[in-house]
Amino acid sequence: METLRIGMLGFGTVGRGVADLLLNKQELLAQRTGMKLRLVRIATRTPERDRGLRLGNTEVTGDLHRVVDADDLDVVVELIGGIIPARDLVGRAMETRKHVVTANKALIAEFGAELFAMANAHGVQLSFEAAVAGAVPVIKALRESMAGNRIDLIYGILNGTCNYILTEMRLKKLPFHQVLADAQAKGFAEADPSFDVDGIDAAHKLAILSAIAFRTHLDFSRISLEGIRHIADVDIQWAEQMDYRIKLLALARLQEGLLEFAVRPVMVPRQSMVAAVEGVHNAVFVRGDFAGTTMYHGRGAGERPTASAVVADLVDLARDLRSGGKGRLPPLGVPVHHLRTLPIQNAAQRHGTFYLRLAVADRPGVLAEVSAILARHGISLDAVHQEGRSHVEAVPLIMVTHETTEERIALAMGEIETLESVRETPRTIRIESGLA
Amino acid sequence: METLRIGMLGFGTVGRGVADLLLNKQELLAQRTGMKLRLVRIATRTPERDRGLRLGNTEVTGDLHRVVDADDLDVVVELIGGIIPARDLVGRAMETRKHVVTANKALIAEFGAELFAMANAHGVQLSFEAAVAGAVPVIKALRESMAGNRIDLIYGILNGTCNYILTEMRLKKLPFHQVLADAQAKGFAEADPSFDVDGIDAAHKLAILSAIAFRTHLDFSRISLEGIRHIADVDIQWAEQMDYRIKLLALARLQEGLLEFAVRPVMVPRQSMVAAVEGVHNAVFVRGDFAGTTMYHGRGAGERPTASAVVADLVDLARDLRSGGKGRLPPLGVPVHHLRTLPIQNAAQRHGTFYLRLAVADRPGVLAEVSAILARHGISLDAVHQEGRSHVEAVPLIMVTHETTEERIALAMGEIETLESVRETPRTIRIESGLA
């Protein structure tokens, strides 16, 4: 039986999962591929640490170059994460004619174009199913199963940490910083949480999905980014009361040739399927002209789910090699010269309804001032909730608008913020009523 | 550019969708495959009927053999459905060295083994993504994305007609026969609905999914089958009251080497994701030891969703042919000689909790008689609901058991049915509390 000789960079959580799977499922993988998937070598900065695995003949080295420069490997699995040194290592592995499987969303989202060109030049494959939504095979679904569809909308919950925090804030009625601290203690959030809570991680994944869905160049930098740090517990409670739920939503929508491209907290109907995605789960919804809306849901991260996706890529590669197929599938589903760049909607073109929360002085006339500014910008209101009189300095004023544009909202809010009676920066959350 | 020459058998609803897609998306499909996907010929019994499509150079013939015997085609798309004559036609197409793509679940579930052997003998591919769950790519997910997992549980809602009927019964509080008639009028159910409402269609799909998930021979005949005809509106209302929802569930579960293999109505927790699958949607849940539970949801049937899946198979085929890959993937994910036959759980081994509904005489002592029989069979009760006194001949007695076995339930119900005070055949519905 032919052998697929695998080298691995990184032996952390996911690396441990991949090694566990490869070492303990030889027979299953051989049945499924007709090849022996052999984990030849692992490079890690801590080769001496015991991971509780029986490594058998698998070599563990502290020298990353013993993997990327090796001539006794067919494929390198990159699980270091981040850009430096992953970018150079992946490049080096491809230069020396090794296929690459990676779980590194930042690397693909930011340097995918360069790396895909290298893969093409050197006749190797670069696979990245594990970069988005863990075990959930959404790259494959988009690139293969939806191949006959014109996709006009893709959205999802792509960051388990944010979804966990928002779920906990709702269930336990706790503020953001307290839930974040708790998530950090439990290992669900990093010590520096900004990649997650500021939406960058979700945007990396959205950049990848959107490029495949719309046949565009990777363009992470054009995604509108808004994280969840400013979501207050009062927003979450108001959302519940109005039969919505707040989710950090990654969304790419093509309308009349213009792309809406954003990661931001939005309110979704409480009865929708996207609202039902709870805790650390991920879900992706894809709307195609023939398929309608299909949805993919599961564990978005973690040792074993991510390992499942990495091994799925290795199995695909083994099947390609064994069947003699060459260059079966370009990384983004179509050859590079077919990739487009779509114009992005501007704020005047982005229509929607909005939840607005102001902290206002508790005295007569404030609502009149605020309403006058909204009216001047052509914004009409669907609902207004004003809290009863209190003795605190500022009381919340909650408003829900009718359909308007982001530009009008931004201009109106800018004016409203300058009112003497408005005590904090107004909060705006878009309402997405039409999602499945 | 190379051409994939496509012939099609059948030009009904799905056939129209496939033709529409192939004829109108030449450029997209060429970008995605590097080949021209050309619909050369369609054979249908009604070649003269106008389907409202611009057919261009595509020939429409009344002679099925002009497709299956042709030597100017690379692949035949079979959309006739049923066994006769589809089985012979598919066989003939493969004998004459044409690949086959089919949406025919009955054909694959009942004659897959024979057809896969023919495909293998003649060096052609036989693909059937469209046979299960319409546009939802669950065959691909199981065969490719979950390749590194040991799967121990797969379940889902695989028949949109039944799910529509159960949804409508609940929302409109109408009895089965009335909703069925309405579904027939709307075209959601066939004139002869037995394939759907007796669970056969769902069982065909389960047979296919389960064979791939567990690496077993196709074995449709061993599935326990129970349809939804006997579900009463009162059962649906009781389910709601107890925070459950009744769904026709197709389930294959591997426990200690024994397979549970059933299509039947069950009660699932109202908060579960499977309960949230409404109307004509399909959903499949797959639990693997690494991936955890992943879920796939979408439109399970219809012209365009099914066409989307058929074309996905054609795109896969084109990519295989163009890249020079041969025999990349066996139909069930592993070569035939690795397929197993798993022993099926018997009724004594099938544990669970159950909802029981009796129609009993409205007089003292009945509950004592019934309870005595249950106790004798070692069945203890979690809850009993007895309706208040009434003037009708029989009143409902609703019971929920603690964990027991199907065998005990069957024996006890057999005895209870013979009681003079029990006026109808008792109804038993299994409760699946542990599903996602």
- List CB contacts of B36: < 8 A, sequence separation 6 or more: B1, B2, B3, B4, B26, B29, B30
Asked if residue A366 lies in contact with residue A360, where contact means CB atoms within 8 angstroms, the answer is yes
Q: Contact A291/B299, CB-based, under 8 Å?
A: yes
Pairing of strands B99-102, B126-127: parallel
C-beta of residue B62 within 8 angstroms of C-beta of residue B29: no
The arithmetic mean of pLDDT across residues A191-213, rounded, is: 97
- DSSP state string for A35-60: SEEEEEEEE-S-TTS--S---TT-EE
Sorting pLDDT into bands at 50, 70 and 90, what band is A359?
very high
SS3 state at B250: strand
Could you report the per-residue pLDDT of A148-180, keeping only the tens digit for each? 999 999 999 999 999 999 999 999 999 999 999
* B23 contact A CB<8A: no
The DSSP bridge pattern shows strands A258-269 and A224-225 to be parallel
Q: What is the pLDDT of residues A97-144, one digit of tens each?
A: 999 999 999 999 999 999 999 999 999 999 999 999 999 999 999 999
Sheet containing A75-78: give its strands across.
A59-61, A36-43, A3-9, A75-78, A99-102, A126-127
| pLDDT at residue A394, as a whole number | 87
For residue B38 the two structure tokens come to 């050309």
End-to-end CA distance of chain B: 47
User: What's the whole-number mean pLDDT along residues A396-413?
Assistant: 96
What pLDDT, on the 0 to 100 scale, is given for residue A165? 96
pLDDT at B389: 66
Q: Which helix (H) or strand (E) holds A417?
A: helix A406-417
- Cα B6 vs. chain centroid, distance in angstroms? 27
A208-256: pLDDT as tens digits: 999 999 999 999 999 999 999 999 999 999 999 999 999 999 999 999 9
Q: What average pLDDT does the segment B2-22 reach?
A: 97
User: pLDDT value at position A436?
Assistant: 86
What is the distance in angstroms between the Cα of B408 and the nearest Cα belonging to chain A? Answer: 36
**What is the reported pLDDT for A158?**
98
Q: What is the mean pLDDT of chain A?
A: 95
- Pairing relation of β-strands A99-102 and A126-127? parallel
Element (H, E) at B40: strand B36-43
ipTM score of complex: 0.96
pLDDT number for residue A149: 98
Contact check, Cβ <8 Å, B326/A324: yes
Q: Is A167 part of the contact surface with chain B (CB cutoff 8 Å)?
A: no
| Catalytic residue numbers of A, as ranges | 205
- Quickly tell me which residue has 């300058």 as its tokens: A418
Q: What is this structure's pTM?
A: 0.96
pLDDT (average), residues B78-103: 97
Cα of B101 to nearest chain A Cα, Å:
14
CB-count exposure of residue B1 (10 Å: 0-12, 13-18, 19+):
exposed
Pick B295's closest partner by Cβ from A297, A308, A324: A297
E strand or H helix at A263 = strand A258-269
Say whether pLDDT at B393 is over 90: no
Is a pLDDT exceeding 80 seen at residue A41? yes
- Taking only the tens place, the pLDDT of each residue in B252-308 is 999 999 999 999 999 999 999 999 999 999 999 999 999 999 999 999 999 999 999
Partners of A427 in beta bridges = A357
User: Are residues B67 and B75 in contact, defined by beta-carbon separation less than 8 angstroms?
Assistant: no
- In chain B, the domains with their CATH numbers are 3-135+303-338 (3.40.50.720), 138-299 (3.30.360.10), 351-431 (3.30.70.260)
> What is the reported pLDDT for B13?
95
| Distance from C-alpha of A356 to C-alpha of A424, rounded to nearest angstrom | 12
Chain-chain contact of B141 with A140 (C-beta, under 8 angstroms): yes
> pLDDT tens digits, residue range B146-196?
999 999 999 999 999 999 999 999 999 999 999 999 999 988 888 999 999
Q: Which of B150, B291, B311 is opposite residue A28, by nearest beta carbon?
A: B150
CA angle, B339 then B340 then B346, to 5°: 150
Q: What band does A364 get if pLDDT is binned at 50, 70 and 90?
A: confident
Q: Which residues of A touch B291 (CB under 8 A)?
A: 135, 298-299, 304-305, 308-309
> Please, which residues have CB within 8 angstroms of residue A240's CB and are 6 or more apart in sequence?
A170, A270
A386 pLDDT more than 80 = yes
Residue A387 has pLDDT above 90, yes or no: no
Q: Do B294 and A136 touch (CB under 8 A)?
A: yes
Q: Decide if B304 touches A, using CB distance below 8 A.
A: yes
Q: Which residue of A lies nearest to B333 if distances are taken between CA atoms?
A: A32
What average pLDDT does the structure give for chain B?
95
Torsion of the alpha carbons at A403, A408, A412 and A413, rounded to the nearest 10 = 80
Are β-strands B244-255 and B151-157 bridged in parallel, bridged antiparallel, or unpaired?
Answer: antiparallel
Of A298, A324, A333, the CB nearest to B295: A298
> Measured in Å, how far apart are chain A's first and last C-alpha atoms?
47
Whether the pLDDT of residue A338 is over 80: the answer is yes
Could you give the CA distance from residue B231 to residue B233 in angstroms, rounded to a whole number?
7
Chain A, residues 178-237, CB within 8 A of chain B, namely 215
Q: Is the pLDDT of residue B391 over 90?
A: no
Question: Could you give the percent of chain B with pLDDT greater than 70?
Answer: 99
For position A390, what pLDDT does the model report? 64
pLDDT of residue B388: 66
B378 touches chain A (CB under 8 A): no
- Is B36 noted as a catalytic residue in this protein? no
Rg (chain A; Cα; Å) = 24
User: How many CB atoms are closer than 10 A to CB A337?
Assistant: 6
What mean pLDDT is predicted for residues B122-149?
A: 97
For chain A, say whether B152 makes contact (Cβ under 8 Å): no
Kindly determine whether residue A299 and residue B292, on different chains, have CB atoms separated by under 8 Å.
yes
